Chain A
Amino acid sequence: MHIPDGYLSVQTSVPAFGAMVPVWTAAVRKLKKTMELRQVPLVSLCAAFAFVIMMFNVPIGPSSVHAIGAVFIAVLIGPWASCLSITVALVIQALVFGDGGILALGANCFNMAFVMPFAGYYIFRFLKGKADIISKRGMFSVFIASYVGINLAALFTAIEFGIQPLLFKTASGTPLYGFFPLWVSIPAIMSEHLLIAGPIEGLITVSAIAYIARFNPKMIVRTTARQSEMKENISFFKRYKAILIAFGIIAVLTPLGMLATGTAWGEWSTGQIKNMVGYVPKGLSKLSGIWKSLFPGYSLDKGSDGFLGSSLGYLLCAIIGIIIIAALMLLINRLILGKRKLNSEKNDGDNTASSGTKEKQEAGFPEWMLVQDSVDILPSKASKTGFLKRTMNSVSKFIQNDLLSERYARKEGFVQSLDVRVKLVFILFYMVFTGITGSLALIIATAVFSVLLAAFSKLEMKSYFKRVWLVFPLIIFVFSIPAATNILISGKPLLFIYKGVNTQGWLLGLPGDLYFSIEGVTAVLKTVFRIGTCISFGYLLVMTTGWSRLTGSFSFIKVPALVTSMLDMTYRYIFVLTRLTINLFESRFQRTVGKISGRENRKFISGGIAYLFVKSSHISEETYNAMIGRGYDGKSVCLEVSKIKRNDLLFTAFNLIAISIIIMGDKILGK
């Protein structure tokens, strides 16, 4: 769900920032006013926590997805704090990992740090009613809230993707940004989230909260008012009648909700589109046929076109999702809540056992320990990296990355010698510029410029190319290949895939000719280079600066000191938590003998998440105490004051000249 830079138009990502600024301001104000100072480290810790759990790969079939945790945090510490936490996590991901763009931060935050926690939180509050959070109804509400939360976030992402080709295009009708319109982006993104990522997010959130409720009820008590004890012996349907009805309504409203956002995907009958945007995508009429045949299940009513058929498709998706959820809920009820009684009895048993260890010691070892088990070590069969390894890899990547950036930041390269603020301004400028310009030549020129800067900064070029150009732009390129054909972007043929074979339209309703169009290929290349350039500048900024100096410069772009200190603290906590995570996974890895089922693994993950959260909140309280112990009263004071030097002026002058040349070039070439 992390949108990279260069994929959204600047005209989308900047307003998204605009939309987030009041939200952030309100959140910070809220934090300052209604929450205690005590919450500051807690919010940072939740951010670190969110960051870390986004690296937890949850196995599902052959692939894996990760949870976001926005609703989890919102339920525990409130939506405003959750909003800030997720924002901070996303900022660090964008800056350090290049996971999600820097310019696209506004949009990413809007989806994941605004829509998701708030929607989730209020759904939770609404469904929970007066019930106890650890009652069945409470757990049910948590599940639904996180399920709906992540799906709403995904829906917004899909819409942001999908409106790009509609809003921005050249005079000839070639889209400038993104190629997949709403009727591609929404089904693609939503089907994944309705069916896979959504249930996973819900499952993880609910089990993590259940774990916390079981092992650290203090935390739940502190954060949510605990009320009446739950009543026993009422049938499932009776107890959940209200929820089930609400759920049914939500399901029915799913497609309507999409309509209500104003950019429904089903409505693209050619006439309407013409009215709306004054433009008819040429491929559209041809493609409605393909769509039907690719997803026959979506169009229950073959007779109707577009809207109704697809609506039913979504409804179907939602229903399948609900069935899965209902099944999971029953399972969870059984697994977690049903076991609670048993467990509490068991815990009592454990306590007496531990007090009796002395006797045990005297009695000596159990017999089986004295016998050497015969275990044969078989020659290893190399297999696919398991999810444990995968998670461990991504966790340790974070640490490597930071070490790398420290090493680079100390080298005496050109970009390193610049003042951070100067760097920040120009790098942002070049990112925006590649986003705005329509000329492929200029985008490539900017890309080359960023490569040169990287070389002057003594970055290791091999790893630079690998990190910046090989992975992400290449993936985008592969995914965008279909867009370069005349299906999506028609224009002058460049390379025929076939010619006139398919005149009857028997093959999936494809058009008569299929070829790569010049316009299409240019558009794809533009996007690929645009994304690459943005990542390249982002990488350059982070790699030559070092974290503390980077955040130190944030006050220059008017980021409140409170937020900056939260960013700093989060970054620090990530280290503490990643170390914990690595330990957790290593111990698990070390104890792994034989094959573990996917369910076992998922259980382990949610247990791990709950453990991390409890640990996080403990650390945050201690840190707050440590801050108070040194006279902290909410003020943040910085030791270092940076000064503009000669190199900065030179760089500024050079860039101003370069920019004026580029802008003139854009005037000429951009036409």
Chain B
Amino acid sequence: MENRDYIFNFKNVSFNYPYEEPVLKDINLVVEKGEKVCILGANGCGKSTLLKLMSGLLHIESGKLYAFGTEVSEKTFRDKEFMKAYHKKVGFIFQNSDVQLFCSTVAEEIAFGPLQLNLPRVQVQERIDDVLDLLKIHHLKDKTPFKLSGGEKKKVAIASILVLNPEILILDEPTNGLDPRTQRWLVELLLTLNKAGKTIITSTHNLELVQEISDRSIIIGEDHRIASDAATADIMSNVQLLKDVNLVDEYYHRHDDDGHTHYHIHNYSHK
């Protein structure tokens, strides 16, 4: 390996679910430590699948995948110690918080991971309190997760991952269904985590947020191949590319006034 600092290295990876058409074709991709990467693409292009391959929840069908300097495959995950270590390093936050919250109280939800990793109980308690404080959700501690609001659920889901202190944080459409204020909060959190040295990989449809939560963007086309892999700023200014992969339509445009750039989706053109 020429580059020792990579986290994920995909070599000609393809993937398909049993009895279905391929969802990813010929993926070549390197993610380095400390990056902020965003995966873009139209619905159904394979973004979530790519994220799940990274987080070790799915395993590649063909090609090779290296992570943290070793080759990773279905076989390596049969080793329980390897699996646990891997999942501790790579935290995955699901698009649908409902599937991620399966314990009966928030405290137990957050404790699930550390307890599975056999941390001492005292330390587990401390960590729970720290994480609850960090996300300012201490008042939810004894509540039942599935009766919380959408935003609260997302926070608890994030807490349940952060408590494991992962090096890489993978978020599948994290801002989906959140109100603007909570979206803002999430962006700030991700930036802070990135500054603290965590690698952040997200997938999103929210083009307004892409520039804030990533330096680099990877676009997957509707043919399930990588259509582009470049700096976010470059990709965002290439409106033709975004149109080609069916992410936006002709009404999409950007504003460049006052040194501030942002993106808009309109159903009509404006002056």
Interface residues of A (CB under 8 A from B): 41, 217-218, 221-222, 406, 547-548, 551, 568-569, 571-572, 575-576, 619, 622-623, 625-633, 635, 637-640
**Contact (Cβ within 8 A) B19 A630:** no
CB<8 Å pairs between A and B, sample of 5: A221-B19, A575-B146, A625-B92, A628-B83, A630-B113
B57 A629 Cβ-Cβ under 8 A? yes
Name the one of A41, A222, A629 contacting B91, with C-beta atoms under 8 angstroms.
A629
Chain B nearest Cβ from A381, distance in angstroms: 38
* Shortest CB distance A575–B (Å): 5
* Contact indicator B112/A630 (Cβ below 8 Å): yes
Known: A572-B146, A576-B146, A625-B57. A631 touches B102 (CB 8 A): no
Q: Which residues of B line the A interface, CB within 8 A?
A: 17-20, 52, 55-57, 80, 83-84, 87-88, 91-92, 94, 96, 98-105, 107-108, 111-113, 115-117, 121, 124, 144, 146-147, 160-161, 164
Question: Contacts A626-B102, A630-B116 given: A218-B19 contact, CB under 8 Å?
Answer: yes
| Complexed CA–CA distance, A494 and B19 (Å) | 74
4 tightest A-B contacts by CB? A548-B104, A630-B113, A622-B99, A637-B115
CA distance A218 to B19 in the complex (A): 7
B99 and A619 within 8 A (CB): yes
Roughly how many angstroms separate A305 CA and B91 CA in the complex, as a whole number?
A: 74
For A632, list chain B residues within 8 Å (CB).
112, 116
Residues on B with C-beta less than 8 A from A622 are 94, 96, 99-100
The reply to whether B115 and A626 contact each other, CB–CB distance below 8 Å, is no
Q: Which residue from chain A places its CB closest to the CB of B100 in the assembled complex? A: A626
B117 — which chain A residues lie within 8 A by C-beta? 631
Residues of B within 8 A of A626 (CB): 92, 94, 99-100, 102
Secondary structure at the A interface, as helix, strand, loop or mixed, is helix
Question: Closest A-chain residue to B92, C-beta based?
Answer: A629
**A628 near B18 (CB under 8 angstroms)?**
no
Quote the shortest CB–CB distance from B85 to chain A (angstroms): 9
| A628 engages B20 (CB within 8 Å) | no
Instruction: Please tell me if the beta carbons of B104 and A630 are within 8 angstroms of each other in the complex.
Output: no
Give complex CA distance A38, B247 in Å: 35
CA distance A114 to B87 in the complex (A): 38
Q: Is the CB of A572 within 8 A of B99?
A: no
Provide the bound-state CA to CA distance between A622 and B99, in Å.
Answer: 6
Instruction: Pick the residue among B18, B52, B124, B164 that contacts A630 (CB under 8 A).
Output: B164
> Taking A575-B147, A639-B108, A639-B124 as contacts, is the C-beta distance between A633 and B98 under 8 angstroms?
no
Most B CB contacts (10 A, CB to CB) among A626, A629, A637 go to A629
Residues of B within 8 A of A629 (CB): 55-57, 87, 91-92, 161
Contact at A631–B84, with CB atoms within 8 Å?
yes
Q: B92 — which chain A residues lie within 8 A by C-beta?
A: 625-626, 629
Tell me how far the C-beta of B140 lies from the nearest C-beta in chain A, rounded to whole angstroms.
14
Q: Which of A569, A572, A625 meets B52, CB within 8 Å?
A: A625
Residues from chain A with Cβ under 8 Å of B121 in the complex:
639
Q: Is the CB of B102 within 8 A of A630?
A: no
The interface residues of chain A lying within 8 Å CB-to-CB of B124 are 639
